[in-house]
Every structure is written in structure tokens, then in C-alpha cells.
Amino acid sequence: MSEATLSLEAVRARSARGVRARRAADRLATGLLWTAAISVVLLLAFFVGYIFYLGVGAISWQFLTAPPSEVSAGGGIGPEIYNSFYILILTLIFTAPIAISAGIYLQEYAKPGAFRSLVQFSAESLATVPSIVMGLFGLLVFVYYFGWHFSALGGALTLTILNLPALMRVSQEALASVPSTLREASMALGATKWTTITRAVLPSAVGPLTTGIVLIAGRIFGETAALIYTAGVSVAAGKGAYDLSPFRPAETLAVHVWYTHAESVVPDVARIGNGSALVLLAMVLLFNVGARIVGRFLTIRFTGKA
């Protein structure tokens, strides 16, 4: 009879084949996943290496300090580097107080309710706005409506709004990393909530907070789309390029990379683009590495441990 042929050995054999097949699928999947992960790392290494390889020939003291040239070869990126840092610092000056305050409010004070949800939704929305759209908003408000024309300040304020959500999130996470027992101990000693935050919670949160700020600084340094039509694509001539005033066009290094290719008519576009890209990438890498180092240092300094 047919049932009798379905002997125990046959069932076991079929089951064993199934197990072998599943184990093979498992090994294949594992291999593919490892490959995917390794490709990501290799991709990163390749990108960094490639940009360095492309641009290293363009780097010279002259390149790093000379002003850009409009029509002839031999321009440099000195003023652009200056503007990148200038706008970075100006942006952080505006963003930090607002974002950290809002972060503290959401994390430590706000009770669940309409206002809290509204603030969180607003932050989420701001985070999803594409940077070009933010740049157009900046164009409308600062260049047209306020009449500033292209200005470093307009660019910095636009970047401020762009980066508020990120710094808020960083603040909230830094505060959340502080255990609640610390707050309890402080309140039980007769401190108010604000005193507890400033004297007990924030010192412990300083490390992760700083790491986050430096990483965001790296992103600000590389921002382009939001700056093209707010801070502009030009720098003043001569010494005026290193102006301390915020009311002047201020092309940054990142914008220069784009501008060189898209609009510039100089004959050595490739050299300038390669060199600018390299300097830009190098700065961002420095920010990334520095973020961790500074964060760890501050954590040890302010909390004595871990």
C-alpha cells in the first residue's frame, strides 16, 4: 500500500533534505548580508580615497588663501573657507540657544498635551523640508522682504531654521541619557527643577550634547542648497572678502564647488572643483572625528567618569 511506502526513513530523508535546503538558504543569506555591509564600508573608503586622490594635486598654500578668480585660471578658495566658518559660527550662535531651550522644555518640562504635540509636529515638519525649499524661504524673507540682498546673516538665519530640529533631537537625547535618579536626588535636597537641570542634569549631558553639536556643525559646513540664494555665490574683492560684517554676500566653500561647475567660466574648473571638494571633505571628516573626541573629553571632565 502507498501509505506503507511512506516509511519513517523516507519521512526523515525528506525532512533532512528540507533542513539542508534551509541551512543552505541561511548560509546564502548570511553571505549576502555580510557582503552588503562590507560594500558600504568599502564604498565609503573608496569615496574618501577618490576625492583625496582627485584633489590633492590642487592643494597649495596659494590655493587655500588666494581669492577666487572670475575669468582666469589660478583662483583660490581663501575667502570661501573664511565664509564657511563665519556662517557656521553665526548659525550656531542662533541655533544653539533656541534649539537647546526647546529641547530642554520638551524633555524636562512639557506635559503631554496640545502645545507639546504642536511643537513636536513642527519640529518634525521642519526636519522634512528640503533644503532648497528652505533656501527659497530665506530668499523671500531675508533677501526680498527684509531687503538685505545676499548676506551672510540671511544665510545663517536660514540655516538656523534648517537645523533647529536636529539640534533639538540631540538635546533631548542627551538629556534622556541622564538617569532619573540624579534628578530625584537633586529635588530631594530642595532644589528647584531649573536648578536641578543646570547643576545636575546638564553637566552630565554635556558630552553627548557636544558630540551632537559638532556633528551638526559638520552638516552646516557642507550645506549648499539653502545658501545659494541667501548668502549668494560671490565674495567681495580684495580685503573686503574677509569682512566681519554679516551684511554682505558670502559664498561658502560648499557653494563654490557647485558654482565652479555650474556657472563659472574659468578654464581650470576641474582643478578648483577637485581641490574645493577635497578641502570640504577633509573639514567634514575632521568635524566627525573631533565630535567624538571632544564629547568624550567633556564627559570625563564634567562627570569624572565614563
Partner 1 sequence: MIHVVESLDPAVVKMDIRDLNVYYGSFHAIKNASLEVADRKVTALIGPSGCGKSTFIRALNRMHDLTPEARVTGTVSLDGTNIYDQSVDPVVVRHRVGMVFQRPNPFPKSIFENVVYGPKTHGERNRNELMACAERSLRRAALWDEVKDRLFKSALDLSGGQQQRLCIARVLAVEPEVILMDEPASALDPIATSKIEDLIGELKKDYTVVIVTHSMQQAARISDLTAFFLLGELIEVGTTSDIFTRPKDRRTEDYITGRYG
Partner 2 sequence: MALASPGRLHAAAVRAHRTEFVARTLLRAASAFVVFAIVALIVYLASEGTKLFTHDHVSPLLFLFSPTFNPDANAPGSLVFIVGSLAITLFAILVGGPFGIAVGVFLSELAPRGVVAAMKPAIEVLVGIPSVVYGWIGLTLLVPLIRTVTGSNGFGLLAAGVVLSVMILPTVITLSEDALRAVPGSLREGSLAMGATRWQTIWNVLLPAAGSGLTVALILGIARAIGETMAVQLVIGNAAVLPSGLLSPAAALPTEIVMDMSGAQQGSLLSHALFSMALLLLLIAMALILAVRFALRKRM
Q: Does 245 bind partner 2 (CB under 8 A)?
A: no
| Contact flags string 107-126 toward partner 2, x per CB under 8 A | --xx----x--xx--xxxxx
In the list partner 1, partner 2, none, the entry touching 257 (Cβ below 5 to 8 angstroms by class) is partner 2
Give Cα separations from 111 to 29, 32, 40, 107, 114 (angstroms). Answer: 46, 46, 42, 9, 9
303 touches partner 1 (CB under 8 A): yes
Kindly tell me the burial class for residue 48, based on how many C-beta atoms sit within 10 Å of its own C-beta (0-12, 13-18, 19 or more): middle
Task: Choose from partner 1, partner 2, none: what does 159 bind? Cβ within 5-8 Å by kind.
Answer: none
Nearest approach in angstroms of CB 116 to partner 1 is 13
Any idea what DSSP says for residue 248?
S
Q: How far is the CB of 291 from partner 2 (least distance, A)?
A: 9
Q: How many CB atoms lie within 10 A of CB 272?
A: 26
Q: Cell 590642487 belongs to which residue?
A: 58
Stretch of 68-76, 98-106, 179-187, 234-242 contacting partner 2, by CB under 8 A: 98-106
Q: Which of 59, 64, 66, 98 binds partner 2 (CB under 8 A)?
A: 98
* Residue 185 binding partner per list partner 2, partner 1, none, with a CB distance cut-off of 5 to 8 Å that depends on partner kind: partner 1
| Segment 124 to 143, residues that bind partner 2, using CB under 8 A | 124-126, 128-134, 136-137, 139-141
Can you say whether residue 113 is alpha, beta or left, with left for phi > 0 and alpha for psi between -120 and 50 degrees? left
Cα–Cα distance between 249 and 115 in angstroms, integer?
A: 38
CB 159 within 8 A of CB 87: yes
Q: Which residue has the cell 543552505?
A: 24
In the bound state with partner 1, the residue whose beta carbon lies nearer, of 113 and 147, is 113
Per-residue x/- marks for partner 2, 196-235, CB under 8 A? -------------------x--xx-xxxxx--xx---x--
